[in-house]
Chains A and B, each alone.
Chain A
Amino acid sequence: QKEVEQNSGPLSVPEGAIASLNCTYSDRGSQSFFWYRQYSGKSPELIMFIYSNGDKEDGRFTAQLNKASQYVSLLIRDSQPSDSATYLCAVSHASGGSYIPTFGRGTSLIVHP
């Protein structure tokens, strides 16, 4: 069973702070790592993807990957109330010539003014 673990939260941060979201995965053969944001009652939407060890930055978001520790994180700088949502970590592994994304349960983030 390929597992993706996240702290369900809620993680509460003040506006303007850095929010740090973490994810661990069990399959060492995993190849791609994604962070999705899901607002209540809506479908998940992609924020970041990362394939290689290290950091990847996109605006206020930074994804960090450490394959040796099987650990992925998402940092949100200058957090805004509009960032309040559930963040889903997804890990993709190869199967039958294609790739299957496995999702964590999500971390609820609350950014308070």
Chain B
Amino acid sequence: DAEITQSPRHKITETGRQVTLACHQTWNHNNMFWYRQDLGHGLRLIHYSYGVQDTNKGEVSDGYSVSRSNTEDLPLTLESAASSQTSVYFCASSGNRNTEAFFGQGTRLTVV
């Protein structure tokens, strides 16, 4: 069955370190998204991609970057982790038609 997987599921890192969260989907979807979810804020869009070599900033992109070298993967990098980036991160993908987004299991990131 097609799926979308995130790794790691949990991560503790120190302030100032670079961290990369992985997202891999086997749906063959062109669209991929990264969201963060915080209490009181819901799901907020960080970055998104419509296809290979395409990346776009979302509403809370400062301090984050993504790259899309193939259809399956959209890694999210925190350039210099800050305590404000402690959150649960969800990767999602969707097809070209205006259809639902499928979510990964989430990564809980703690920056200490």
Contact = CB atoms under 8 A, between A and B. Distances in A.
**Do they bind each other?**
yes
Contacts of B30: 98
B21 to A, nearest CB: 14
Contacts, number: 53
Interface in A28-44: 31-32, 34, 42-44
A46 interface: yes
A49 B98 CA distance: 10
Contacts of B100: 34, 46, 49
A92 interface: yes
Given A98-B50, A99-B94, A45 B45 contact: no
Contacts of A101: 33, 92, 94, 101
A104 B35 CA distance: 13
Interface residues on B, range: 20 to 34
A107 to B, nearest CB: 10
Interface stretch (B11-19, B61-69, B74-82, B103-111): B103-111
Interface in A14-36: 31-32, 34
A43 B42 contact: no
Interface residues on A, range: 20 to 34
Contacts of B45: 100, 102
Contacts of B48: 100
27 contacts: A8-B40, A31-B98, A34-B100, A34-B101, A43-B90, A43-B104, A43-B105, A43-B106, A44-B43, A44-B103, A49-B100, A51-B98, A88-B43, A92-B98, A96-B50, A96-B56, A97-B50, A99-B98, A100-B33, A100-B48, A101-B33, A101-B92, A101-B94, A102-B45, A103-B42, A105-B40, A106-B42
Given A1-B59, A98-B96, A101-B101, 4 more contacts: A42-B106, A99-B98, A100-B48, A104-B42
Interface of B: 30-31, 33, 35, 40-43, 45, 48, 50, 56, 59, 90, 92, 94, 96, 98-101, 103-106
